[in-house]
Each structure stands twice: as C-alpha cells, then as structure tokens.
Amino acid sequence: MSTKNRFGARIKKLEENTANRKPVLIWIEPDENAEAAARRYLSEHPEDAGREVLCLSWCG
C-alpha cells in the first residue's frame, strides 16, 4: 500500500469518526457574541474539534 493510499484511508476514518459526533451545546450571556463564544469553547476544548457548537441564550 502506498503512502498516499494509507493517508487517504486515515482521512476517511477521521471523517467517519467526526461525522457521527453530536453537537456541543453551550450557554452564553445575552450580550455575548455567539461566534466568538463558539471559537473560544473550541480553543479551550481541543478534544471537540470538528464538532458543531450550538449556543443558547435567554432574553434578558
């Protein structure tokens, strides 16, 4: 098996693993920017890389 084929197989396996992961749900303050909060969460939790981050807030 060539390096290219093994590399492609690894990429496919990674895509399969991340495709089946549930999204992360985080609470944010009403005046907090959701996109910035999602980026901050992913930088603080590298194990969740590739997962969708959903931000919930409430009306103040």
pTM of the model: 0.62
In this model, does residue 43 exceed pLDDT 90? Answer: yes
In this model, does residue 17 exceed pLDDT 70? Answer: no
Mean pLDDT of 18-41: 88
DSSP string, 7-55: HHHHHHHHHHHHHTPPPEEEE--TTS-HHHHHHHHHHH-GGGTTS-EEE
Domain residue limits, the chain: 22-60
For residue 58, the model assigns a pLDDT of 84
Mean pLDDT of 1-29: 64
Q: How confident is the model at residue 3 (pLDDT cuts 50, 70, 90)?
A: very low
